[in-house]
Amino acid sequence: MQQAKRHELGARSDKRRLVWGLLILILSGFPTLAGALEWQVYFSPQGGATDAIVQAIAGAQKSIYLQAYSFTSAPIAKALLAAHKRGVKVEAILDKSNRTAKYSAADFLLHAGIPTYIDAAHSIAHNKVMIIDEELVITGSFNFTKAAELNNAENLLLLRDRDLAARYLDNYRQHRAHSELYQGKEQPQAKKTAPADDRWLQYLFHQIFGR
């Protein structure tokens, strides 16, 4: 009888420890228990990844931080330009290959007035990341390109979590610290004869993004 009571008391004690342990995890912000992480996932080809990115950019209110290796997607470029024009802070870190191409996303972003940095500290700056409003992280294998949307087997994750976004933003700033602010190439004759910057920007857009 006494043994049964001791067993019952021991079981109750174990339950209390479990409850207190769970409570401590919740109060400390353990992500799985404190609240469900909001996420969306997309797979290409033709799985809606580009549209998801464009919609996320369109919803940005304060800031967009971009890291990209290859960036040739016309819809994403248009969305970033529109965000910049409506007052959203937009910055980009791109791979050093953008510095040597005749026309690159770096040129387009520079002439759009978006601060653009070249990360040459690595063999390849291969991150594909956007941090929006310091709460939404976009990442995955998906390059911001037409080929990634139409032809490649890729994945894209949208993760809404401020703590996670803070980690990504901290990493972004570490890369920006060793990157070089892009100053552009010598402007060709087309720029010198263009009556307005908007015309030159349109010219760059068609050269880089194709439409």
- Which residue is catalytic, options 107, 111, 119, 128? 128
Would you state the torsion angle of the CA atoms of residues 170, 175, 176, 180, taken in this order, to the nearest 10 degrees? Answer: 180
Give the C-alpha separation, 80 to 64, whole Å: 8
- Which residue is catalytic, options 78, 84, 96, 126? 126
Catalytic (active site) residue 126: yes
- Which residue is catalytic, options 78, 84, 96, 133? 133
Catalytic (active site) residue 192: no
SS (H, E, C) the chain: CHHHHHHHHHHHHHHHHHHHHHHHHHHCCCHHHHCCCEEEEEEECCCCHHHHHHHHHHCCCCEEEEEECCECCHHHHHHHHHHHHCCCEEEEEEECHHHHCCCCHHHHHHHCCCCEEEECCCCCCCCCEEEECCCEEEEECCCECHHHHHCCCEEEEEEECHHHHHHHHHHHHHHHHCCEECCCCCCCHHHHHCCCHHHHHHHHHHHHHCC
Task: Tell me the catalytic residues.
Answer: 126, 128, 133
